[in-house]
Chain A
């Protein structure tokens, strides 16, 4: 049975402890760190997790977190169920979101959806998300300067695949995925997946 490494970032002490217990009792997640905020060295020392679960909803902080962990899906816990807010979170780089008042089983199923690349986002949110983006090339077209393998990987990144999902799909190790991604970011002169997609797919 796979045990996923997770980082929890939640400002409220009691709720952070609840999330830690949720993971402990799931027997599928190993909590690498449970932190109050994104600041400080502790987060940097946590290493690369498989997924991040956070109650941080501020756009700038969320973008910073996504940049700090390229390729790692970030799932945001929110008390605001408004579609526009969801669009904002997804635009900032969140892989998915969970309503704070959901029951534990729902939290676990959303995290699994993200990790297995089987994300189901309501149509209303997807439509608003597409409208919020600038039109550009679709994933799959070849980008000059990248090898065919790198193009293939970029297409999968644009489709929202995690590093783990890419390694499983292409039958290559996580290390190889990371190396390819590093080369892609270097060639595109970007720092992370979000910037790469924005540059190539959405042509921002």
Chain B
């Protein structure tokens, strides 16, 4: 089996060539060899972001392992690696239920057979699972435990990259839970670690969390400061997630400065980008757009934002807000526009008071 050749081709972006090599070798060797080749085939597709194409190969790889006679020892570490890669593909295609199942099934194997790197990789998918299950809102203590475990494990192994990831995840968890001081504390720790290890994505994320924490506090001045630094980085690394989050904060800054026209223009761009790419974090711009459309008394546009904010696959909002959005939507459908407007206004007032706007 020419695994080093296949791996080299994948890492060089020669995916078709890698797949040709794999096809040539499929059907030869033991079940384990087959399972490894199927796994590499899946990897060649995920490396191209072709997650839907990767899934059947990961499934075949796992099936081969499960069908093998010797399912212990050397088989297990491979199964863990394939399952983790499989989880990323499932997550990217939003097959959250299956994702959750695999994460649960994998736990005993990781505890017994997983090496340090696999344990850390596994904690990352566990964290993703918690995010999905709670719709990226008010995460339970379980999330904090996982993040701290990631940091601990990374420190034991001297793995700075994973330590930064853990610190950023911790910061993100506090951000989603609206504990802004703690959010900043861990984002700053991640930034301090970044002096020891270059990681563009980690740096972008930490800056975004700093910016977002000040937005949640309603602190325009500091949000502007961090917004500038995020934009600076976007110029260098062109990270689309950081850019869209920075733009969402920019729309909010315009709103707070009563420049409503510019706020709507920017907010609309963010909304279109996010919906075009199926981002789940729509409340960051949808609540703002709802407020802006309400100022213009455009209840049809308000209802559109309310409708999308209530989608089961969109980030949760506080229950007081969603209750009012549901009431507004229902009133609008009954042509009770005054009542609908009243509900939307109440929702916006709560959002503003609680730092969601």
Contacts and interface: CB of A to CB of B under 8 A. Distances in A.
Given A12-B300, A27-B278, A101-B330, 4 more contacts: A14-B303, A25-B311, A27-B94, A104-B308
B314 A101 contact: no
Interface in B186-210: none
A43 to B, nearest CB: 23
A101 B313 contact: no
Given A99-B333, A101-B333, A17 B310 contact: no
What is the interface of chain B mostly: helix, strand, loop, or mixed?
helix
Interface of B: 93-95, 275, 278, 300-301, 303-304, 307-308, 310-314, 326, 329-335
B304 A22 contact: no
B312 A105 contact: yes
A78 to B, nearest CB: 9
Contact of A21 (B275, B301, B335): B275
B275 A18 contact: no
A83 to B, nearest CB: 16
A137 interface: no
A48 B228 CA distance: 50
Contact size range, A: 20 to 34
A36 to B, nearest CB: 15
A103 B333 contact: no
Interface of A: 1, 12, 14-15, 17-18, 21-22, 24-27, 79, 99-105, 108
Given A14-B304, A79-B334, A1 B329 contact: no
Nearest to A28: B94
A17 B271 CA distance: 13
Given A15-B300, A25-B313, A104 B307 contact: yes
Contact of B275 (A24, A26, A102): A24
A146 B13 CA distance: 59
A25 B300 contact: no
A47 B311 CA distance: 28
B102 to A, nearest CB: 14
Given A25-B278, A25-B314, A18 B94 contact: no
